[in-house]
Amino acid sequence: MAIMVGPRFRFGARARFLTALGLFALICTGVEPPVVRANLAQPAGALGSATVSTESLGGEDQYAVAVAISGRLFPNGGAPVVYLAAGENYADALAAGPIAAREGGAILYTSASTLTAAVGQELIRLAPARVEILGVTSVIDDNVLDQVTAILAPTTVVERLAGSDACGTAAALSARSFEPGAASTVFVASAQSPSDAIAAGPAAARLGSPLLLVTAASLPATTAAELLRLEPDRVFVVGSPIAVSDEVLNAIKLIVPQTERVYGADAYATAAAVAARFLPLAATDVAAEVVAGATGYADGLPAVPLAAARQAPILFAQPDDLLPTPTRDAMIAGRPTRIVIAGSVSEVVRAQLVGFSDGRLTVPAPTPAYPTYDSAYHDYGEMVTLIKATEIAYPTLVHVFSIGKSFEGRDIWAAKISSNVSVDSGKPEVLFDALHHADEHLGVEQALYMLATLTANYSTDVYVHRLVNERVVWIVFALNPDGWAYDLSGGSYHFWRKNRQETGGYYGTDINRNYGYRWGCCGGSSSNPSAYNFRGPSVWSTPEARALRDFVASRVVNGVQLIKAHVTLHTNGELILYPYCYTKSALPTDMNFDDYSTFVKLAQTMAHMNGYKAEQSSHMYVTDGDEIDWLYHQYRIFSFTFELYPKELGSLTADDYPPYSVVATQTARNRGALLYLIDMAACPYQVIGKAAQYCSGAPVVTPSSGLMP
């Protein structure tokens, strides 16, 4: 087993100055736990797989997580010892992990000034012979000690174990448990890097070692003295040179020459390095497990005794989105068969833990990544991982497939989302697509947002639940993966729009000028291959437009096109556009008045919901060979272009490549409008009051109460 925890922690202001060996001015700084907490609904998704099981030891906060872990360790109570740590300031408890493991005890959290009812109850249930309160009175008040004494049997030893700071407490814990010479190996981590100390815990336990603490810049006197007393053969320093400086490492070497650093580039990589070095999952057979956790690193500490009991490493995950790369790679390398999650992670993160362990998920082939400052945007490989993990997490709701290949051979990935997804039900269908234009990255994020919304909210949101039950939603996440890869190539943006097909020595066709209705008719595209809006040498010349065409054609069942509504996601302008694109005429002969009225009504209603402006697509400029003209003309699909954030500002730098910080707001902004369109797709004509006239022969709608299951 292993454990994951989020990276958000803050250092406390508390600092103490000590002197070690008369050589250094030393600081041992207290550590505070994460301030920001994940707020994830607990979904009822599928757990594990045929070969990998997961177990969740979650809770609202680190206090509850510790109680859950303690319950798992001691289902029938009867812990010999409990270490009580301050939940908001647990640096004093970092070294207690391997000691608690050694003694077969548990670690619980308390608030600094009072024992909460839940923790008190767990203490009573555990009925320990001994309780160690970790830290000085400013860390945990005497009141807590009195309360613990009062609720437990009179024979219980309740005592405070504290040095003058976290490093001193670690030294005191070691001194209490190890005679001189009893520990041939000692682990050292920084009191300021709780993740490193927590990851070191199960490794130290496995080697029968104490864990001592230093700071980034200093070897405290108490720690040095304890090293001198123990006289170990070797020391493992867990943490990067930023976490524990080379100066501190060299100071330790003066005491124990065989001192070695174990670390990775970040907290995740350091935990993975510890796992690989001391607790290789593959070597542990059925005991191979991984404890994950994500409400913060604090969730990892109480899991140390549990991980140690199973000779499992602790790894760290983030609560949502993608698994950190080192953790992902540790899953692939270790192939754990049991994963214990301490804290809360999303179903999609859980699916990644399982999927990378059982081989259903693999590392995507390398494609260009976003520049570092925009690295939170999902590149092609990350998108693939996310949608495939969503399919694993929600197998009854999501089916992932490719609608075909791009010119350069990349898959154009899509998902079908509906209850009972494996059944072709005849429910009304809606299609979303994104990234016709390679540099319109926000569209991909919007598509991923819709996938997440329709799955993660299915069991918690009545509206989403009904829509997923009664509709089929298709999402094509990135129609132009070649242009996307080119746009990101070389580590900087290229303002690339078209695909990567060559015509007469020039690269790229504008896929949104290549569709088959009135292709090239009306001055809304260029015949010049070097133009940004080159329509291609012939209609349907792009494999990407053909893939979209053939997919839509495949939704004609018994002569009826099941897709009733469509949105193509572009940027930018904050506009909702409806056909026709090829003419400025609002009502040419190839559109009837009821369709026109329905388009206008739907667009205006959606625009009210997201604050965009609704207008005919040709209002600003005419395009021909545009996707939405073809979808409407060919199938009478109510097809819209959303031009996403930001508003047209007239300068490329202001309009293009918005920072990731806007993504959450700007994608959530369209939730209501897009769900509304999914809803209306049962019969779009209902918005002009003509459902009876147009939809009496409509596809059968699966009856549903719209209530929670």
Among all residues, which ones are annotated catalytic?
643
Q: Is the Cβ of residue 242 or residue 620 nearer to ligand 0X9 in the bound state?
A: 620
Q: Applying CB under 6 A, does 512 fall inside the site for ligand 0X9?
A: yes
Q: How far is the CB of 504 from ligand 0X9 (least distance, A)?
A: 22
- Taking CB atoms, the residue at the shortest distance from ligand 0X9 is 570
Q: Applying CB under 6 A, does 626 fall inside the site for ligand 0X9?
A: yes
Residues 569-608 that bind Zn ion (CB under 5 A): 570
Tokens of 471: 């509709």
Q: Which does 427 bind (CB under 5 to 8 A by kind): ligand 0X9, Zn ion, none?
A: none
Which residue carries 């790679």 as its tokens?
329
Rounded CA-CA distance 698/610 in Å is 29
Selected range binding ligand 0X9 among 185-193, 254-262, 454-462, 620-628, rule: CB under 6 A = 620-628
Q: Which does 617 bind (CB under 5 to 8 A by kind): Zn ion, ligand 0X9, none?
A: ligand 0X9
Q: How far is the CB of 373 from ligand 0X9 (least distance, A)?
A: 23
For residues 106 and 126, the answer to whether their CB atoms sit within 8 Å is yes
Sheet containing 130-134, strands listed edge to edge, beginning at the edge strand earlier in sequence: 106-110, 81-86, 130-134, 157-161
Residues 422-441 that bind ligand 0X9 (CB under 6 A): 437, 440
Residues 544-573 that bind ligand 0X9 (CB under 6 A): 570
Q: Is the Cβ of residue 620 or residue 708 nearer to ligand 0X9 in the bound state?
A: 620
Cis amide linkage into residue 646, ω under 30° from 0: yes
- Taking CB atoms, the residue at the shortest distance from Zn ion is 570
- Of the residues 468, 581, 591, 614, which one makes contact with ligand 0X9 according to CB under 6 A: 581
Q: How far is the CB of 621 from Zn ion (least distance, A)?
A: 12
Tokens of 403: 């609608």
Rounded CA-CA distance 705/154 in Å is 58
Rounded CA-CA distance 615/620 in Å is 9
Which spans in 87-165 are helix H?
A: 96-103, 117-126, 142-151
- CB environment 157-172: b (16+ within 10 A), e (fewer): ebebbbbebbbbbbbb
Q: Is the Cβ of residue 588 or residue 689 nearer to ligand 0X9 in the bound state?
A: 588
Q: How far is the CB of 630 from ligand 0X9 (least distance, A)?
A: 12
- Of the residues 618, 639, 666, 667, which one makes contact with ligand 0X9 according to CB under 6 A: 618
For residues 415 and 451, the answer to whether their CB atoms sit within 8 Å is yes
Per the DSSP assignment, residues forming a β-bridge with 567 are 432, 640
HSE-up of residue 115 (Cα within 13 Å, Cβ side) = 23
Selected range binding Zn ion among 215-223, 565-573, 585-593, 661-669, rule: CB under 5 A = 565-573
Selected range binding ligand 0X9 among 170-178, 274-282, 613-621, 666-674, rule: CB under 6 A = 613-621
For residues 165 and 28, the answer to whether their CB atoms sit within 8 Å is yes
Q: Applying CB under 6 A, does 270 fall inside the site for ligand 0X9?
A: no
Residues 184-203 that bind ligand 0X9 (CB under 6 A): none
For residues 563 and 429, the answer to whether their CB atoms sit within 8 Å is yes
Rounded CA-CA distance 670/344 in Å is 27
Contacts of 590 (CB under 8 A, 6+ apart): 580, 633
Rounded CA-CA distance 291/152 in Å is 31
Compute how many other C-beta atoms are within 10 angstroms of the C-beta atom of residue 613: 15
Binding mask 631-650 for ligand 0X9 (x = CB under 6 A): ----------x-x-------
- Of the residues 310, 437, 549, 555, which one makes contact with Zn ion according to CB under 5 A: 437
Q: How far is the CB of 530 from ligand 0X9 (least distance, A)?
A: 17
Q: Is the Cβ of residue 297 or residue 640 nearer to ligand 0X9 in the bound state?
A: 640
Rounded CA-CA distance 510/501 in Å is 10
Q: Applying CB under 6 A, does 289 fall inside the site for ligand 0X9?
A: no
Selected range binding Zn ion among 182-190, 215-223, 435-443, 550-558, rule: CB under 5 A = 435-443
Q: How far is the CB of 512 from ligand 0X9 (least distance, A)?
A: 4
- Of the residues 418, 623, 639, 670, which one makes contact with ligand 0X9 according to CB under 6 A: 623
Q: Which does 418 bind (CB under 5 to 8 A by kind): Zn ion, ligand 0X9, none?
A: none
Q: Applying CB under 5 A, does 498 fall inside the site for Zn ion?
A: no
Rounded CA-CA distance 253/438 in Å is 54
Tokens of 279: 């607790």
What is the 8-class DSSP label of residue 555? Answer: T
For residues 626 and 582, the answer to whether their CB atoms sit within 8 Å is yes
Compute how many other C-beta atoms are within 10 angstroms of the C-beta atom of residue 530: 12
How many residues line the site for ligand 0X9 (CB under 6 A)? 15
Give SS3 for 421. Answer: coil
How many residues line the site for Zn ion (CB under 5 A)? 3
- Where on the chain is the footprint of Zn ion (CB under 5 A)? 437, 440, 570
- Where on the chain is the footprint of ligand 0X9 (CB under 6 A)? 437, 440, 512, 570, 577, 581, 617-618, 620-623, 626, 641, 643
